[in-house]
Structure 1
Amino acid sequence: MWVCVSDIFDVKLINCRKVIGSAKGKMPENLFMDKLQEMLSKEINGKKYLLVLDDVSNENRNKWLKLIDLLMGGSRGSKILVTSRTELVANVTGTNSPYFVKGLTKEEAWLLFEKMAFKQRKESENTFKVTIGKEIVQKCKGVPLA
């Protein structure tokens, strides 16, 4: 299951609606929390799951504990992977050992950009387009998603 969290860390929205939506392929309607918890329990209880919480920015420990409580029904071996831009989130979640991803080097970033932007090799021969492309790559600071 994959849930993009971004700036809003609402246990009801993230945990119940988005997780259920990720598992079933359809986000449930705006139900009361107890009904959403029931649906979530039915979805994960006794099952092994991998849940990716992507781009988390929440630094409130109490909200994490509420969320984790709701996800404890999975079978042994279930995992939750959290991606974040800050180390503080890793500390708040009580992660085992954070893995820090480094940005691409200038060369790697340019090769990726060139491959994606210049699908026909002719464009990479145009010095004007190459100059603009290198400016874009520099502004992205090695972050491929940018």
Structure 2
Amino acid sequence: MWVCVSDVFDLKQIAENIVESATGRKPESLRMEGVQNELRREIGGKKYLLVLDDVWNEDREQWIGLRDLLMSGAQGSKILITNRTEFVATITGTNWLYTLKGLSDQESWSLFKQMAFKEGKEPKIHV
């Protein structure tokens, strides 16, 4: 399942998006309790991989609320969180933290050439 969280950490909306990602349909319930029940029905006892993409939430209590909803999955279920700050990663109680580094100037230019020019080669300029 893949859910883009972004800067608004609304527990009900995130739960709805997880259900939709798992089932391909929007949850039927409009109330949080109903959405929680649907989420637990979908992941309960099942092994899952959930990607929470672009998480900005810095409130540990909100994260704990979401984490508690996701604990009904089978052992071995994984949650991968992408974010932009180490602080967000630490409040989730992560087991592993991977910090990605940007490309060097040389790597950036090489990638640009591969994408922008035919066969990845710079055009020859004839003056």
Normalising by structure 2, we get a TM-score of 0.89
Corresponding pairs, count? 125
Measured in 1, the distance between the counterparts of 2:9 and 2:102 equals: 26
Distance 2:37 2:4 in 1: 22
Quick check: 1:103 aligned with 2:75? no
Match of 1:137 in 2: none
1: CA distance, partners of 2:5 / 2:82:
9
Deviation at 1:104, TM superposition (A): 1.1
Moved over 6 A (4+): none
Shift in alpha-carbon separation, 1:10–1:126, aligned structure 2, 3 A? farther
CA distance in 1, matches of 2:55, 2:84: 8
Deviation at 1:35, TM superposition (A): 1.1
What CA distance in whole angstroms lies between the structure 2 residues aligned with 1:76 and 1:50?
A: 11
Secondary structure in structure 2 of the residue aligned to 1:125:
coil
- Identical-residue share of aligned pairs (%): 55
Gaps of 5+ in 1: 128-146
How many angstroms apart in 2 are the aligned matches of 1:30 and 1:10? 16
Q: Separation in 2 of the partners of 1:40 and 1:94? A: 22
Q: Aligned partners of 1:3 and 1:36: how far apart in 2?
A: 15
One-letter identity of the residue aligned with 2:43 = I
| 1:1-146 map, 5 Å | 1-14=1-14, 16-28=15-27, 31-118=30-117, 120-121=118-119, 124-125=122-123
More helix by share: 1
Displacement of 1:27 in angstroms is 3.0
Stretches of structure 2 lacking an aligned partner (at least 5 in a row): none
Q: TM-score, normalised by structure 1?
A: 0.78
Aligned partners of 1:126, 1:20: CA distance in 2, in Å?
53
